[in-house]
Amino acid sequence: MDVHVTGSTVRGSTRAPSSKSYTHRALLAAGYSDGATVRSPLVSADTKATARAVSAFGGRVNAGDEIPDDAKTLAIDGFGGRPAVPEDVIDCMNSGTTMRLVTAAAALADGTTVLTGDGSLRSRPQGPLLDALSDLGVRAESTRDNGLAPLVVTGPLAGGEVAIPGDVSSQYVTALLMAGAVTDDGIEIDLTTALKSAPYVDITLELLGEFGIEATPVDDGGDPIDGAAGAAGFVVPGGQTYEPAGGSYAVPGDFSSISYLLAAGAIAGKSGGDGETVRIEGARPSAQGDAAIVEIAERMGAAVDWDRDAGAITVEHSPLSGVAVDVGDTPDLLPTIAVLGAVADGDTRIENCEHVRYKETDRVSAMAEELGKMGAETTEDPDVLTVHGDESDLRGATVDGRADHRIVMALAVAALAAEGTTTIRGAEHVDVSFPDFFETMADLGMDVERDK
């Protein structure tokens, strides 16, 4: 599907969608339990993939019925920490989180599970997780022997000690922590390289705690520390039971999605009093690293106010200036920051971003090339993307969303500040994390038309 966005201003109030990261983890955690209710889930293409995996392992989501897109709660009958061998291949579609979390869950089953996904997912690295599971005594292989899906996993996993790199994907750590809690022996994880995207592991630790699971980051000496940042490893005892307080868990709002709404207000909002701001509700504090977008926007000069108690952010259009931003822990923010940099004065230098090349697409090159079509000037290095705001003059163009929800949404925000109309191809991929993104933006004032 193509969408056509014409330069326009935005104002008004909206609510952030629920967190995709938390929803994935909550669905699988409820699957590991004897049963739990997930409240305020994000229902999207990716999270539906995780729900189907829970069902494939012998759980049941929403009484086995199709999950409606507007579901406010999902009741999950869990598989009690012991996944059954699936009757069919598990198709993770385009969801990397699903594949990594479910690969470790598959290792618990007393038999063989086959996992695959779409063309994009079959190009994303799974090797370090397969190696870790193999070291733990599980048969875990790529059918093409290249570390890429399709994957074949044969359990059961008993637990043990394993080493894994921390700079490829934090989801490997999350997968092992979640599965390790229900093994007989537990799992001790030693990181062979520094952990990137540590806030995503903090999300996991927070959610595990909510489900009654003990998991601890440790330093080089094996002593417990607070938070995943700087951890040398993690310890999760075995024999634990997933059981949230009161039998339910509520998913918080998603700061990755909030970043597009905030950026839209900063570059295309109005200033000047009541009713002229963009107000984003559902922004309560949590372990999400992408909440850093508030501080980043403020450093660039945006007029942002975050009422943490009320969970509301307001933002006005403001002159922006380029800054240096390290996205080692916040890779999903790169597309948003690149757009802010394209309308800012001076250079915006996005550093420590090589791992952002291994998402649904190479997001570093994708943003450089697609913003370039719109008139932005960039310099791309292996680990740095620099956006030269002073040399950029955004204008309407035809751009490719690269089958990547975050690229599509970022380009739509850039189109707000461009002269003329921008056509974004592949816009349907917003279904992955923010299915009603264009409806939300239209309500705020975006001039957007969709091809039928």
Query: Is 359 annotated as ligand-binding?
Result: yes
Query: Is 120 annotated as ligand-binding?
Result: no
Cα–Cα distance, 218 to 188 (Å, whole number): 10
User: Which contacts (CB < 8 Å, 24+ apart) does range 295-299 have?
Assistant: 296/323, 296/325, 296/333, 296/337, 296/340, 297/262, 297/263, 297/266, 297/340, 299/323
Query: Is 21 annotated as ligand-binding?
Result: yes
Query: Is 197 annotated as ligand-binding?
Result: yes
Nearest to residue 312, comparing CAs of 298, 295, 294, 330?
A: 294
**Cβ-contact 55, 32 below 8 angstroms:** no
Query: Is 100 annotated as ligand-binding?
Result: no
Query: Is 8 annotated as ligand-binding?
Result: no
Query: Is 44 annotated as ligand-binding?
Result: no
Query: Is 169 annotated as ligand-binding?
Result: yes
Query: Is 363 annotated as ligand-binding?
Result: yes
Token code pair at residue 5:
């966005």
Query: Is 31 annotated as ligand-binding?
Result: no
Query: Is 233 annotated as ligand-binding?
Result: no
404 is catalytic: no
Query: Is 72 annotated as ligand-binding?
Result: no
Cα–Cα distance, 54 to 380 (Å, whole number): 40
Residue keyed to tokens 């993690």 = 234
| Active-site annotation holder among 332, 347, 400, 404 | 332
Query: Is 436 annotated as ligand-binding?
Result: no
Residues recognised as catalytic = 332
Binding residues for 3-phosphoshikimate: 20-21, 25, 169-171, 197, 332, 359
Binding residues: 20-21, 25, 96, 124, 169-171, 197, 332, 359, 363, 406
Binding residues for phosphoenolpyruvate: 20, 96, 124, 171, 363, 406
